[in-house]
Amino acid sequence: MQIAFYAPFKPPGAATAEQNRDSARLLMEALARAGHAVEVVSTFRSFDEDGDAERQLALRDEGTSHAQLLATQWTRGTRTPRPDLWLTHHVYYKAPDWLGPLAASALQVPYVIAEASHAPKQAGGRWGIGHDATAEAIRQADLVLCPTRKDVVYVEPLVLSQERVVRLPPFLDTAPFSRAAGMRVEYRRAIAETYKLDSDVPWIVVASKMQTTDQIASYQMLAAAFAKLGDVPWRLLVVGDGRARAEVEAAFNGASARACFLGDRTLAETAAIFAAADLFVWPGINETYGTSMYEAQAAGTPVICCTPRGVPDPVEQGISGMRILPGEAETLSQAMRALLLDPTHRRAMGKAAADFMSAERSLDAAAVRLDKALAMVARSL
């Protein structure tokens, strides 16, 4: 199938590495693995950060004109190949889809949205124009692919049939992490030598930027939990950086001798650190879903996380890790204590985590789900 691919918030060719750009690229790769031809048909950004109604109207007009031009070019044959299906990635009130519904309708091809988000509380607000456009796009979609259960709950009331809403959990390319897991001993030895760590002591890894209020709050909750583990041996490896690094480091001041701040790392370096560690812990306050939790598990490392929004989706409770209620530092410290003192259980969870990622959250698994969902849409039209 020839697929017209469009990302109104962050085009897959964007120079800046962010979760949205990377998830768009992963989606394109999964589609290609399923045997589809994928073309990015536009880099037009509909994103309005400030809630400026005048700007939103201007973006609407620009997007509508662009969609009409694309449809005309395909219809007249001046642009090829003509798509069999239109797929828009990540639609929400700040970045509505002004292109897809119009172009797909003009070409009479299926319109699909991946990662649609509907926020009823935004109705009539500063992003009201984008909110209404997003709701209308969801109504018109022949298929909506949702990454989290919460997204499904908000999207389903907008569609005529619940069969049009399919859950496609977040996924990643597990290969770099599974390769790193195969070299755990070598990586652990090298990291121990570089940072003067005792390899006989359990290593806990954390990976997150230090930018937003929620990220800072997660680090602070983590520091509070570690403060209750002074009688247990552990070392903390922190991967990440940002404007609030000094504030984050200050939160761990009481455990500064046990914490090692590594700053930003490349994908390969992060995979090696995850594979060398014994446990990954992250509260994930208000996160949509935690990519690093998937990566850690793919490297064979069990995860402890909290349970807001889509964050707990990758963690099988008691099998590949542990989930706790958000905001409970005491419960978080108890969960860490239990696994820090039980290496056999940790290793079993790590193996289960790697197996789960390979079978359920890999590119190949996503390709199978995508192909099945798109085939269903094609048959129904």
Looking at the predicted structure, is the pLDDT value of residue 179 above 60?
A: yes
Closest CA to 218 of 185, 244, 192: 244
What distances in angstroms separate CA 266 from CA 18, 36, 207, 297, one per listed residue? 13, 30, 12, 18
Residue 57: per-residue pLDDT: 97
- The rounded distance, in Å, linking the Cα atoms of 295 and 375 is 29
Cβ contact 363:30 at 8 Å: yes
The pTM of this model reads 0.89
Q: How confident is the model at residue 256 (pLDDT cuts 50, 70, 90)?
A: confident
- Give the CATH class of 2-171+362-380: alpha beta
Residue 162: per-residue pLDDT: 87
- The rounded distance, in Å, linking the Cα atoms of 303 and 317 is 10
Percentage with pLDDT > 70 across the chain: 97
Q: How confident is the model at residue 311 (pLDDT cuts 50, 70, 90)?
A: low
How many beta carbons lie within 10 A of that of residue 309, not counting itself?
Answer: 19
Span of 80-89, 158-167, 186-195, 341-350 with lowest mean pLDDT: 158-167
Span of 41-50, 118-127, 261-270 with lowest mean pLDDT: 118-127
Residue 16: per-residue pLDDT: 72
How many beta carbons lie within 10 A of that of residue 195, not counting itself?
Answer: 11
Match 């909750």 to its residue by tokens. Answer: 221
Instruction: State in Å, rounded, how far the first CA of the chain is from the last one.
Output: 14
- What number is the average pLDDT over the span 40-54? 96
pLDDT in tens, 289-300: 778 999 999 999
Q: Which two structure tokens, joined as six digits, stand for 296?
A: 């850690």
pLDDT in tens, 10-24: 999 887 767 788 899
Q: How much is the mean pLDDT over the chain? A: 92
Residue 308: per-residue pLDDT: 59
Closest CA to 177 of 56, 291, 78, 101: 291
pLDDT in tens, 352-368: 999 999 999 999 999 99
Residue 309: per-residue pLDDT: 57
What ranges do the domains of the chain cover? 2-171+362-380, 175-360
Same fold, 2-171+362-380 and 175-360: yes
Fold of the 175-360 domain: Rossmann fold (3.40.50)
Q: How confident is the model at residue 381 (pLDDT cuts 50, 70, 90)?
A: low
Burial (0-12, 13-18, 19+ Cβ within 10 Å), 355: middle
Q: How confident is the model at residue 110 (pLDDT cuts 50, 70, 90)?
A: very high
* Cα within 13 Å of Cα(376), Cβ side: 15
- What number is the average pLDDT over the span 189-213? 95
Looking at the predicted structure, is the pLDDT value of residue 341 above 70?
A: yes
Q: How would you write 74-129 as a 3-class SS string?
A: HHHCCCCCCCCEEEEEEEECCECCCCHHHHHHHHCCCEEEEEECCCHHHCCCCCHH
Interaxial angle between packed helices 291-298 and 267-276, expressed in degrees from 0 to 180 and rounded to the nearest 10: 60
